[in-house]
Amino acid sequence: MRILAIESSCDETSAAVVEKNNDGVHVLSNITATSLLMHQPTGGIIPENAAREQVKWILPVIEEALTTSTQGNALEVLKNTIDGIAVTYGPGLIGSLLMGVESARALSFILKKPLLPVNHLLAHLYANFIDNNEISFPFIGLIVSGGHTDLLYFKSHADYTWLGGTRDDAAGEALDKIGRIIGIKYPAGAEIEKRAHLITDSSIKFTSPLLGSSDLDFSFSGLKSEVSRYVEHIKKTENILPEETLNQICFAVQYAIIKVLVRKTLSAVSIYTAPTLLLGGGVSANQTLKKYFVQESAKHKLDLKIYSPLPAYSTDNAAMIGAYALMAGKEADWKNVKANPELYFTT
Ligand code: KG4
Ligand code: ZN
């Protein structure tokens, strides 16, 4: 089966052609336009601006995904090679989501192709199924993105339980907000990782919130305040943050976040005796996070298989929407598919 997948939940407009055959899910094309540069001066996304960019890019991106998936003009490829249309219907920004959802509904209606609405959050985990045929149930899933931090336990595609999540800011959101405080451009996660990598230890230490709590929840807004207080203190004596201090702050922030993510996730792995862990979302592109997971699971003698998507499939992209649709998607009548900005986990 081959599908056209569309993702437009936030500031990325993405379309992909994804196929499932006997040896798994493969990506034939994955095209993404981003309005990221436009949001950097404001240090965050202005929903109205993001939606306007979606309007501009949705059709060119769909066209390019189709024409690069196989030879032929876009309409012919769509009519002759595509068996269904998958689309993110939530969560996300309403104006952005609507562009993808309404485009997919129109295509499904006109071409009489099945429509598969996809939960963006679950798709972040299912990015791991791309070119990977060896994942089996049960598994623990950790979603770490700009908007979400959630732990889930999957017994099957349809049978999963939410175990815990952030009580305030998401891990990526904390990195981005801290980036603003220390003068790193939005989105700050990748640059914080790069700077942290330049040093091996830091005399600066920040608290990993909820590290000792027995639940599987997270909280990252206190970390932002702690960093803010630290920076104010430094700025009493220094006009600007010295490079070395900035790098040390990045190291300490990243460590505080990773430590609690790994501790709580491995605790879920032990409680549910899960042999497999899937990471997903923009923050899962962080190599130090993966390294720490491997290190700590070895230290605790957990026989754990750990998967994280390729960087191109960690941040928002349509290929992961296609992967979810092909592995676990359910067809819906176009008349009943609506954008749902508040969508969370429904089982
Ligand atoms: O999944 P995503 O593209 O968008 C949402 O669905 O939210 O995640 C974006 C988030 C941003 O907060 C960004 O700072 C973070 O992922 N991020 C990273 C890295 N690359 C992106 N965080 C840590 N390390 C990275 N290498
Ligand atoms: Zn996302």
Instruction: Give the model's pLDDT for residue 95.
Output: 96
Cβ atoms 223, 253 nearer than 8 A? yes
CA of 257 to the centre of ligand 1 (A): 13
- Between CA 254 and CA 247 the distance in angstroms is 11
Question: How many angstroms from the chain centroid is the CA of residue 295?
Answer: 23
pLDDT band of residue 161 (cuts 50, 70, 90) is: very high
Q: Is the pLDDT of residue 311 over 70?
A: yes
Distance 189 CA to ligand 1 centre (A): 6
pLDDT tier at 42 (50, 70, 90 boundaries)? confident
Q: What is each CA distance from 308 to 23, 184, 239, 287, in whole angstroms?
A: 19, 26, 40, 10
Give the number of the ligand closest to the Cα of residue 122: 2
Angle (CA) 71-75-80 rounded to 5° is 70
Ligand nearest to the CA of 187: 1
Q: What is the 8-class DSSP label of residue 96? A: H
d(CA 67, CA 69): 6
Name the burial class of residue 234, with classes exposed (0-12), middle (13-18) and buried (19+) by CB atoms within 10 angstroms of its CB. Answer: middle
pLDDT band at 77 (very low <50, low <70, confident <90, very high): very high
Single-letter amino acid, residue 282: G
CA distance linking residue 166 with residue 169, whole number of Å:
6
Q: What is the pLDDT of residues 247-273, one digit of tens each?
A: 999 999 999 999 999 999 999 999 999
How high is the pLDDT of residue 245? 94
Specify the pTM.
Answer: 0.95
Q: Is 252 in the pocket of ligand 1 (CB under 6 A)?
A: no
Q: Is the pLDDT of residue 75 over 80?
A: yes
Give residue 235 CA to ligand 1 midpoint distance, Å: 28
Other residues' Cβ atoms within 10 Å of the Cβ of residue 327: 17
Residue 3's SS3 state is strand
Query: What pLDDT does 45 receive?
Result: 81
Half-sphere exposure of 36 (CA within 13 A, CB side): 11
Sheet with 115-119: list strands edge to edge: 24-34, 12-21, 2-7, 84-90, 115-119
